Structures are given as C-alpha cells and as structure tokens.
Structure 1
Amino acid sequence: MTTTATLSIRRFEASDTDAVVALWQEAFPEYRDVTRPQRNPHLSIANKLVTQPELFFVAVFDERIVGTVMGGYDGHRGWLYSLAVDESLRRHGIGTRLVAHVENALTERGCPKLNLQVLSAKDDVRAFYEALGYRADAVISLGKRLGELAETPAA
C-alpha cells in the first residue's frame, strides 16, 4: 500500500457488484465452482441487499474495492460473513479494519455477541480471527439447505 492513497470503508452500492464478485472469486475458490449453486456470489449479494443491506461494507483503496465484510443481527446474536481482502494487499490491516467496522456497527445495534464460521481446513483464517480475540465456542455447527438448494435424500 502506498502512503498517497487512503483506505476507506463504506456501505456496498449496487455498482460495486462486479468488483465484489471478482474479489470473492479470488478469495473464496468455492465461488468459482458452478457445481455448488449455494456459493453463487450474485445470489449472496442479492439476498444481502434485501436483508440488512446497511451491514454490507466494502473497503476502497486507490478508488478500487479491495475488501468486503457482511454482518447480520437477529436480535440475539450477530454474525460475520464474507470477509475478503485482495490477495495482493493482505497483511496491511484491511481485514482488521473491516472486522472492527462491522463489530462497531453491530455494537451500535445492541448486539451482545458476534459469531462466525471458518472452514476447518483454513488454519490461516482461524489464526487471523484468533489474533483479533475470537475463540472457538464449544458447539457443533449444523446446517440444512432449504428450498431449491435442499439436498435430496438418497434412494
């Protein structure tokens, strides 16, 4: 990062879509896998724009989007999703600033606890969050796909 450009964090705008999709496809290889329709970045963006769009943020550096984060709050727990930073700009504090930004936004809403999930194979990602004070809870995460993405039972 150069000292002449500044990093800013702002709400996502629809015109950011192509840049965010490109960033996510770089940061999350599963978003490039067309056999996993639940990982469709366009669908993720569309869904977020109808559910708490004010908690979808982008980091902008030198007039380009270099990071994203989404938050959610159901009145009981907050969630952090889709933290991504341009690979060429990692380890410059952008991810840390994005996490702090969404933490502040959720705190302002009265959120008492923030949860996130990390794929078990991503030790480097887990280490990043642990350095920010996040700890593994003694829980097992369960999931079930609904609607069009529901898994069909084996015959």
Structure 2
Amino acid sequence: MTTTTTLSIRCFEARDTDAVVALWQEAFPEYRDVTRPQRNPHLSIANKLATQPELFFVAGLDERIVGTVMGGYDGHRGWLYSLAVAESLRRHGIGARLVAHVENALTERGCPKLNLQVLSAKADVRAFYETLGYRADAVVSLGKRLGELAEAPAA
C-alpha cells in the first residue's frame, strides 16, 4: 500500500459481489471446497444481505476491494465474521481498521461485548486478534447445522 493511496471503508454493495467472492476464496481456502456447501460465499453474502446488511463492510483502495468484515448484533452480544484482507496487503493495518470500524458500528447500536471465533489451528489469526485486545473466553463453542445443511460435514 502506498502513502498516496487512501483506504476507504463502506457498506457492501451488490456490485462488490465478484470481488468479495474472489477475496474470500483467497483468504478462506474452505470457500473453494465445493463439498462443503455451508462455505458457499454467494450464500454467505445473500444471508448477510437479508440480515443486518448495514453491518457488512468492504475496504477499498481506489476501486479495488481489499478487505471485508461483517458484524452482527442480537441485542445481547455482537459477533464479528469474515474479516479478510488481500494477502498482498496484510500487515498494513487494513484488518485492524476493519475491526475498529465494525466495533464502532456495534458500539453505536449499544452492543456491550463482541465475540468472534477462530479455528484452533490458526494461531496466527488468534495472535492478530490478541494484538487488538481480544482474549479467549472460558467457554466451549458448540454448533449444529440446521435445515438442508444438517447433513453437511462439520467444520
């Protein structure tokens, strides 16, 4: 990232779909695995647009989408999802700015606590969040697939 390029963060727009899918497939290899229908990026986008689309943000450099983050708030706790930064631009503060942006949006809604999940095998991702002040809670995360995804393999 050059000093003359300005990073902007804004709400996702439908025209961003192809760029976001490409970014997610780079950042999240499981999104390229067609045997895992629960990891379909188009479904993730459609579901987010149906629920709190104003908490789906993209980061852009000029006209290029270089990052994403999604937030959610149920009135009790907030959640952070799908933080992704283009591999060539990592370690330039884009991820931290996206996290701060979604934290501010959730704080404005009265959200008292923000949760996120990191796959246990991704120590580097966990270390990133720890530098931003996130700590492991003394909880066990449980999940259950519902509907047509109920038979999909876990993960």
TM-score (normalised: structure 1): 0.97
1:32-111 paired onto structure 2 within 5 Å = 32-111=32-111
Q: CA deviation at 1:111?
A: 0.1
Partner of 2:95: helix, strand, or coil? helix
Partner of 1:142: helix, strand, or coil? coil
Mark the CA change 1:3 to 1:119 in structure 2 (over 3 Å): closer, same or farther. same
Mark the CA change 1:145 to 1:107 in structure 2 (over 3 Å): closer, same or farther. same
Mark the CA change 1:59 to 1:152 in structure 2 (over 3 Å): closer, same or farther. closer
Deviations 1:37-73 (A, max 9, x none): 0000000000000100000000001210000000000
Q: CA deviation at 1:89?
A: 0.2
Deviations 1:75-108 (A, max 9, x none): 0000000000000000000000000000000000
Partner of 2:137: helix, strand, or coil? coil
Native 8 Å contact 2:145 2:152 kept in 1: no
Partner of 2:30: helix, strand, or coil? helix
Q: CA deviation at 1:153?
A: 11
Native 8 Å contact 2:38 2:152 kept in 1: no
**Structure 1: segments with no counterpart, 5+ residues:** none
Q: CA deviation at 1:150?
A: 0.3
Q: CA deviation at 1:154?
A: 14
Q: CA deviation at 1:5?
A: 1.2
Q: CA deviation at 1:152?
A: 7.8
The alignment of Structure 1 onto Structure 2 pairs a total of residues equal to 155
Native 8 Å contact 2:37 2:152 kept in 1: no
Between the aligned partners of 1:90 and 1:43, the Cα distance in structure 2 is: 26
4+ residue runs of structure 1 moved beyond 3 angstroms?
152-155
Deviations 1:94-130 (A, max 9, x none): 0000000000000000000000000000000000000
Partner of 2:54: helix, strand, or coil? helix
Q: CA deviation at 1:3?
A: 1.5
Q: CA RMSD for the aligned pairs?
A: 2.3
